[in-house]
Copies of this chain bind each other. A is one copy, B any other.
Amino acid sequence: MSNPTTITANPGEQVVDIERVINAPVADVYRAYTQPELIAQWMGPRGYEMEIDTFDVRDGGSWRFVHITPEGGKFGFHGSYHSVVPQTSMVQTFEFEGAPGHVSLERVTFEGEGDATRVRVHAVYQTVEDRDAMIDSGMAHGVTEGYERLDELLVRS
């Protein structure tokens, strides 16, 4: 049984809040969030491959990856980092290259709870419409499956 993923998106607000407990210490979860070869193994839905372009995790650094669907479709995403406090929190931007100019801003927080880690994501969008479009694109599925893959990765490693 995997832990539940809570995704909150109140009507009319331009925010999504995500919360998930991962059964691993903060150091391991943080590593999985910041080391490209680990990120590629869990972020996004099952069956997707991730081609890493760059992951420069520091204030002002950039990231970019391409998701390859089981059918061979390619979808690029990129952004940059702000305020990286190792094993505590980081702020990053996020842009799907299929909808250029629509950028969101995410804060990810890692909080130790015994041997586990509570991950909180607070994402704000430029408009309520942008937020709703992200929800409608199947965000919940990708996020939930991603965390299941993260559980599996952390058991393996």
Binding site for B on A (CB under 8 A): 14-15, 59-60, 62, 78-80, 82-83, 85, 89, 91, 93, 95, 100-101, 103-105, 107, 122, 124-126
Measured between C-beta atoms, what is the minimum distance from A6 to chain B in Å? 18
Q: Which residues of B contact A95 (CB under 8 A)?
A: 82-83
Residue of B nearest to A84 (CB): B101
Q: Which residues of B contact A15 (CB under 8 A)?
A: 14
What are 9 A-B contacts with C-beta separation under 8 Å?
A: A14-B124, A60-B80, A83-B101, A91-B101, A91-B103, A105-B126, A107-B126, A122-B126, A124-B126
Q: Which residues of B contact A122 (CB under 8 A)?
A: 126
Q: Which residues of B contact A14 (CB under 8 A)?
A: 14-15, 124
Stoichiometry, copies per complex: 2
Known: A14-B14, A82-B95, A95-B82. A101 touches B89 (CB 8 A): yes
Q: Is the interface of A mostly helix, strand, loop or mixed?
A: strand
Q: Which residues of B contact A78 (CB under 8 A)?
A: 59-60
Lowest 3 CB-CB distances: which A-B pairs, in order?
Answer: A80-B80, A60-B62, A105-B105
Measured between C-beta atoms, what is the minimum distance from A30 to chain B in Å? 16
Known: A62-B60, A122-B126, A126-B122. A105 touches B93 (CB 8 A): yes
Q: Which residues of B contact A89 (CB under 8 A)?
A: 101
A86-B22 Cα distance, complex, nearest whole Å? 43
Determine which of B79, B100, B107, B125 lies in contact with A101 in the assembled complex, contact meaning CB atoms within 8 Å.
B107
